[in-house]
Chains A and B, each alone.
Chain A
Amino acid sequence: DIQMTQSPSSLSASVGDRVTITCRASQSISVYLNWYQQSPGKAPKLLIYAASYLQSGVPSRFSGSGSGADFTLTINSLQPDDFASYFCQQSYSTPWTFGQGTKVEIK
Chain B
Amino acid sequence: EVQLVESGGGLVKPGRSLRISCTASGFNFGDYDMTWFRQAPGKGLEWVGFIRRKVYGETTEYAASVKGRFIISRDDSTSIAYLEMNGLKTEDTAVYYCTRERVAIFGVIIMDYWGQGTLVTVSS
Contact = CB atoms under 8 A, between A and B. Distances in A.
Interface in A84-107: 87, 89, 91, 94-101
Given A31-B108, A95-B64, A44 B116 contact: no
B47 A94 contact: yes
Interface in A28-52: 30-34, 36, 42-46, 49-50
Interface of A is mostly: loop
A43 B116 contact: yes
Contact of B44 (A30, A31, A32, A100): A100
B106 A50 contact: yes
A98 B111 CA distance: 13
B1 to A, nearest CB: 12
B115 A43 contact: yes
A36 B47 CA distance: 14
B47 A96 contact: yes
A46 B44 contact: no
A46 B111 contact: yes
Contact of A98 (B44, B108, B117): B44
19 contacts: A31-B108, A32-B109, A34-B110, A36-B45, A43-B115, A43-B116, A43-B117, A44-B111, A49-B104, A50-B106, A53-B104, A91-B108, A91-B109, A91-B110, A95-B63, A96-B47, A96-B109, A98-B44, A98-B46
